[in-house]
């Protein structure tokens, strides 16, 4: 197959195979790993008989292949679950029921997604503006004090874990200066203004850390382009420095920026575990931490798969955009 | 491509020495390693240990705030004591360096071994071996590190030695996929070179060719990649411990110290600032050193004093 259509098709098939293999690996690892899931789910006061009953109800004693088949069935055709007293139907795509709340994992994830999406998209706007802006500025002022200052700041940004900058920001802005209240998530649909104010610090923390990567990437790509022969030709034709930087050098940075940004967004949609935990945002990441604490396997497996899905999807989209943005890329 | 062995190392050092920032970073890293190795000695000089509770040094009536100025700084406790428990902060900080660096290095070794072995095998193997191994590497590139590590660490019973487990999980889940793909590409290039072809013609086995002829040629990209992996692994360990699934108490860890630091920032600011500062300095020094190593090994990078272009950046772990 040749051409652009074939390229997209091959990428899509590759992404699907990767995702399928990811689900098998995660399933095998999580279900083979020792640990008394039935006891933890039932609670510390359960008698051995009750634990046995829970294990039966959750199919914990079934062989691995039966459980994976069960899982696939749920994913593609839906599944009926007996919760002891009633039967609950979980339609496809079904990732199972939470051991803790009997809630459907897909519903649980959908309920948390707006929080995580708000965090990820808002932060993305900020880190692109700050990161690309810093990169362009340091190329514009290259060889001067501004560039050294920005390079140092960028290095500092790359070396700070997000929970450290988040902690410090929260303590200084909310605790000491009392400029903002401690963040508490408000849905966009309830009150857009409060939504933005409460997300400001989480956005800033994430963006300040992430923008460092973008600044470095922008700067490096632009410097690479500026060293190329065609730029010298443009200069010889009398194109000004402003035009060279914005129109030609920055263009060289677009493709790698897209690739890295897609990957970051994919990961973030699967839950910014640290940022959400630190600021108490009830998103996918925080739900994941909660589920992990009580070994709620269907929720854990479901979330890992959804995150993997976002990463694979984002990377596939990035590959396509990459090819569109940079015609030199050979389609394979 | 630098020659292997002592001469290569000497050449790397000579080029590294000309970069002032890399030199400073190398000194800082060396000091940190010394502190980590000598942690028991340092705490013995202070006369404390990281796990003994000192209930008499905290004010239980005020919720466990350290007694005395600056969070309980004294001749016995150089950096004060931990709120609530009264454990010695200096001892916990230097022993934390041990955990942080130890776990990060061990994880890096796992990543390097996996990445090189799988990458070389894919590059030298037949079409099917290559396809399967590349696909596996792809899967691990797509593996969401924090989420998977969180899940794995929560499920494995706590009886398993925790720092070893953290290093294993971080090493197995992250980093090596990208390295394996890079090594594979490099192997495919090297395989076509005359000296490798000559070795094959003289009847050398695949393993011997890989060990004697390919590994030296792979040294440069692998060292460069390792230099990115170490600081990332430090951050990941701190993040996991911060979330409470990494190294468990009473073993001290910087990330773990930060978990409850926000509650105490007014009474004992150093309880927040010390582990945060230690983390920052360590990761910064390792990053600058890594940049220096990359510049020293890649003459193209040296010419424009810039670091990291294109998709190489994806090697950096996503810890959000």
Spatial neighbors of B28 by CB under 8 A, at least 6 apart, are B281, B285
Could you read off the pLDDT of A42-54 as tens digits, one per residue?
766 777 777 777 7
B63-69: Cβ within 8 A, 24+ apart: B65/B264, B65/B267, B65/B268, B66/B267, B66/B268
A23-28: Cβ within 8 A, 24+ apart: A23/A71, A23/A305, A23/A308, A24/A68, A25/B139, A26/A301, A26/A304, A26/A305, A26/A308, A26/B148, A27/A64, A27/A67, A27/A68, A27/A71, A27/A301, A28/A64, A28/A68
Q: Do A213 and B313 touch (CB under 8 A)?
A: yes
φ/ψ (deg, to 5) at B88: -70, 125
Report the residue from B135, B156, B266 with minimal CB separation from A17. Answer: B135
Which of B281, B223, B237 lies closest to B27 in space, CA to CA?
B281
> Across chain A, what does the average pLDDT equal?
81
pLDDT of res. B111: 95
How far is the alpha carbon of B35 from chain A, nearest alpha carbon, in Å? 20
Fold of domain A111-331: MetI-like fold (1.10.3720)
pLDDT of A153 strictly over 60? yes
What's the pTM value of the predicted model, to 2 decimals? Answer: 0.84
Q: Do A273 and B284 touch (CB under 8 A)?
A: no
Which one of A2-6, A200-204, A227-231 scores highest in mean pLDDT? A200-204
Q: Do A263 and B272 touch (CB under 8 A)?
A: no
Spatial neighbors of A87 by CB under 8 A, at least 6 apart, are A80, A81
Nearest chain B residue to A24 by CA distance is B139
Q: Give the number of residues written for chain B.
A: 320
Q: Do B307 and A216 touch (CB under 8 A)?
A: yes
* Interface residue of B100, B145, B151 to substitute, partner A, most A CBs within 10 Å: B151
pLDDT of A320 strictly over 80? no
Pair B65, B268: CB distance under 8 Å: yes
pLDDT of res. A328: 60
Residues of chain A positioned with their CB less than 8 A from the CB of B159:
none
| Whole-number Å distance between alpha carbons of A305 and B52 | 43
Could you read off the pLDDT of A116-139 as tens digits, one per residue?
999 999 999 999 999 999 999 998
Q: Do A274 and B313 touch (CB under 8 A)?
A: no
| Whole-number Å distance between alpha carbons of A172 and A23 | 43
Q: Do B265 and A171 touch (CB under 8 A)?
A: yes
Report the residue from A29, A162, A273 with minimal CB separation from B147. Answer: A273
- 3-state secondary structure string across B259-283: HCHHHHCCCCCHHHHHHHHHHHHHH
- What average pLDDT does the segment A81-99 reach? 73
How far is the alpha carbon of B246 from chain A, nearest alpha carbon, in Å? 13
Residues of chain B positioned with their CB less than 8 A from the CB of A315:
141-142
* Interface residue of A60, A273, A326 to substitute, partner B, most B CBs within 10 Å: A273
What is the torsion angle, in degrees rounded to the nearest 10, for the CA atoms of residue A326, residue A327, residue A329 and residue B2? -70
How many helices and strands in chain B, by DSSP H and E?
Answer: 14, 2
How far is the alpha carbon of A260 from chain B, nearest alpha carbon, in Å? 6
Spatial neighbors of A231 by CB under 8 A, at least 6 apart, are A225, A244, A248, A249
**Kind of pairing between the strands at B58-59 and B65-66:** antiparallel
| Whole-number Å distance between alpha carbons of B207 and B214 | 10
pLDDT of res. A327: 61
Q: Do B272 and A14 touch (CB under 8 A)?
A: no
Which of B150, B235, B318 lies closest to A304 in space, CA to CA?
B150
Residues of chain A positioned with their CB less than 8 A from the CB of B143:
22, 308, 311
How far is the alpha carbon of A263 from chain B, nearest alpha carbon, in Å? 8
Which one of A83-87, A142-146, B156-160, B169-173 scores highest in mean pLDDT? B169-173
Place of tokens 């850390």: A209
Report the residue from B142, B155, B304 with minimal CB separation from A33. Answer: B155
Which of B224, B239, B227, B308 lies closest to B25 in space, CA to CA?
B227
Question: For each of chain B's 320 residues, which pLDDT tens digit applies?
Answer: 444 556 677 888 888 888 888 899 999 999 999 999 988 888 888 777 787 777 777 777 777 777 776 676 777 777 777 777 778 888 888 999 999 999 999 999 999 999 999 999 999 888 899 988 988 888 888 777 887 888 778 777 777 788 898 999 999 988 898 899 989 988 888 888 888 888 888 888 888 888 888 888 888 888 888 988 999 999 999 999 888 888 887 888 898 888 877 777 777 777 888 899 999 999 999 989 988 888 888 766 544 444 333 333 334 444 66
Find the angle CA(B74)-CA(B79)-CA(B82) to the nearest 5 degrees.
100
Q: What is the helix, strand, coil percentage profile of chain B, to 5?
A: 75, 0, 25
Q: Which of residues 54-73 of A touch B (CB under 8 A)?
A: none
pLDDT of A29 strictly over 60? yes
- What average pLDDT does the segment A143-151 reach? 86
| Whole-number Å distance between alpha carbons of A144 and A100 | 59
- What average pLDDT does the segment A199-224 reach? 89
| Whole-number Å distance between alpha carbons of B279 and A163 | 11
Domain ranges of chain A: 3-90, 111-331
How far is the alpha carbon of B145 from chain A, nearest alpha carbon, in Å? 9
Pair B236, B255: CB distance under 8 Å: no
Which of B57, B55, B51, B54 lies closest to B71 in space, CA to CA?
B57
Omega cis (within 30) before B4: no
* Interface residue of A159, A223, A256, A304 to substitute, partner B, most B CBs within 10 Å: A159
pLDDT of res. A332: 52
How far is the alpha carbon of B242 from chain A, nearest alpha carbon, in Å? 8
| Whole-number Å distance between alpha carbons of B92 and A183 | 31
Q: Do B154 and A272 touch (CB under 8 A)?
A: no
Tell me the ipTM for this assembly.
0.81
Which of B309, B288, B303 lies closest to A219 in space, CA to CA?
B309
Residue A192, number of CB atoms within 10 A of its CB: 11
Residue A256, number of CB atoms within 10 A of its CB: 25
Spatial neighbors of A329 by CB under 8 A, at least 6 apart, are A255, A322, A323
Q: Is A186 exposed, middle or buried (0-12, 13-18, 19+ CB in 10 A)?
A: middle
| Whole-number Å distance between alpha carbons of B268 and B311 | 43
Q: Is A187 touching B (CB cutoff 8 A)?
A: no
pLDDT of res. B115: 94
pLDDT of res. B3: 45
Report the residue from B143, B280, B313 with minimal CB separation from A160. Answer: B280
Pair A89, A73: CB distance under 8 Å: no
Report the residue from B157, B242, B307 with minimal CB separation from A163. Answer: B242
Q: Do B238 and A161 touch (CB under 8 A)?
A: yes
Pair A138, A146: CB distance under 8 Å: yes
Spatial neighbors of A238 by CB under 8 A, at least 6 apart, are none
Q: What is the helix, strand, coil percentage profile of chain A, to 5?
A: 75, 5, 25
Which of A204, A190, A192 lies closest to A279 in space, CA to CA?
A204
First-last CA distance in chain A: 10
- 3-state secondary structure string across B165-197: HHHHHHHHHCCHHHHHHHHHHHHHHHHCCHHHH
């Amino acid at each position: 197959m040749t051409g652009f259509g074939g390229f997209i098709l091959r990428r899509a098939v590759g992404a699907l195979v990767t995702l399928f293999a990811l689900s098998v690996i995660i399933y095998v690892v999580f279900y083979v790993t020792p640990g008394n899931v039935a006891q933890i789910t039932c609670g510390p006061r359960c008698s051995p008989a009750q634990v046995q009953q829970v294990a039966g109800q959750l199919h914990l004693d079934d062989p691995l292949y039966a459980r994976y088949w069960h899982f696939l069935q749920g994913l593609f055709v839906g599944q009926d679950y007996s919760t002891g007293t009633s039967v609950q139907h979980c339609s496809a795509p079904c990732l199972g029921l939470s051991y803790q709340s009997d809630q459907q994992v897909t519903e649980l994830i959908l309920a948390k997604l707006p929080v995580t999406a708000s965090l990820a998209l808002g932060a993305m706007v900020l880190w692109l503006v700050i990161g690309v802006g810093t990169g362009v500025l340091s190329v514009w002022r290259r060889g001067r004090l501004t560039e050294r200052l920005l390079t140092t700041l960028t290095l500092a940004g790359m070396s700070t874990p997000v929970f450290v900058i988040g902690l410090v920001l929260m303590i200084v802005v909310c605790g000491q200066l009392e400029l903002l209240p401690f963040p508490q998530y408000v849905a966009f649909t309830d009150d857009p203004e409060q939504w933005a104010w409460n997300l400001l610090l989480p956005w800033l923390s994430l963006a300040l850390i992430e923008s460092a990567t973008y600044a470095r990437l922008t700067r490096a790509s632009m410097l690479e382009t500026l060293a190329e022969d065609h730029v010298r030709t443009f200069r010889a034709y009398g194109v000004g420095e402003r035009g060279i930087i914005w129109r030609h050098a920055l263009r060289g940075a677009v493709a790698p920026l897209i690739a890295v940004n897609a990957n970051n967004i994919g990961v973030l949609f699967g839950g910014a575990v640290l940022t959400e935990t630190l600021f108490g945002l009830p998103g996918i990441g925080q739900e994941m931490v909660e589920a992990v604490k009580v070994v709620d396997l269907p929720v854990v497996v479901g979330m890992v798969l959804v995150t993997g899905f976002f990463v694979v999807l984002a990377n596939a989209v990035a590959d396509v955009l990459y090819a569109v943005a940079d015609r030199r890329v050979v389609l394979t | 491509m630098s020659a292997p062995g002592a001469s290569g190392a000497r050449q790397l050092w000579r080029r590294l020495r000309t970069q002032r920032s890399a030199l400073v970073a190398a000194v800082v890293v060396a000091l940190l390693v010394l502190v980590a190795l000598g942690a028991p000695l340092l705490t013995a000089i202070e006369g404390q240990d990281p796990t003994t509770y000192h209930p008499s040094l905290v004010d239980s009536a005020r919720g466990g705030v350290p007694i005395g100025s600056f969070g309980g700084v004294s001749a016995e406790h150089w950096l004060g004591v931990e709120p609530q428990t009264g454990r010695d902060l200096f001892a916990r900080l230097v022993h934390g360096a041990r955990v942080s660096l130890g776990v990060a290095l061990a994880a890096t070794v796992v990543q390097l071994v996996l990445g090189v072995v799988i990458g070389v095998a894919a590059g030298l193997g037949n079409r099917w071996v290559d396809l399967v191994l590349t696909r596996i590497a792809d899967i691990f590139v797509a593996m969401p590190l924090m989420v998977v590590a969180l899940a794995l660490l929560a499920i494995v019973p706590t009886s398993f030695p925790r720092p070893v487990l953290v290093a294993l999980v971080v090493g197995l889940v992250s980093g090596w996929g990208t390295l394996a793909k890079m090594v594979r590409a490099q192997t495919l290039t090297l395989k076509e070179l005359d000296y490798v072809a000559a070795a094959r013609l003289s009847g050398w086995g695949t393993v011997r060719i890989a060990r004697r002829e390919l590994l030296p040629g792979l040294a440069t990209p692998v060292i460069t990649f390792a230099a990115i992996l170490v600081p990332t692994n430090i951050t990941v360990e701190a993040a996991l411990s911060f979330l409470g699934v990494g190294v468990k108490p009473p073993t001290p860890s910087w990330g773990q110290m930060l978990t409850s630091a926000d509650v105490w920032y007014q009474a004992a600011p150093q309880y927040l600032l010390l582990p945060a500062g230690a983390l920052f300095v360590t990761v910064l020094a390792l990053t600058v050193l890594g940049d220096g190593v990359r510049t020293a090994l890649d003459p193209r990078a040296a010419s424009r004093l810039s670091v990291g272009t294109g998709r190489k950046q994806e090697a950096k772990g996503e810890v959000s």
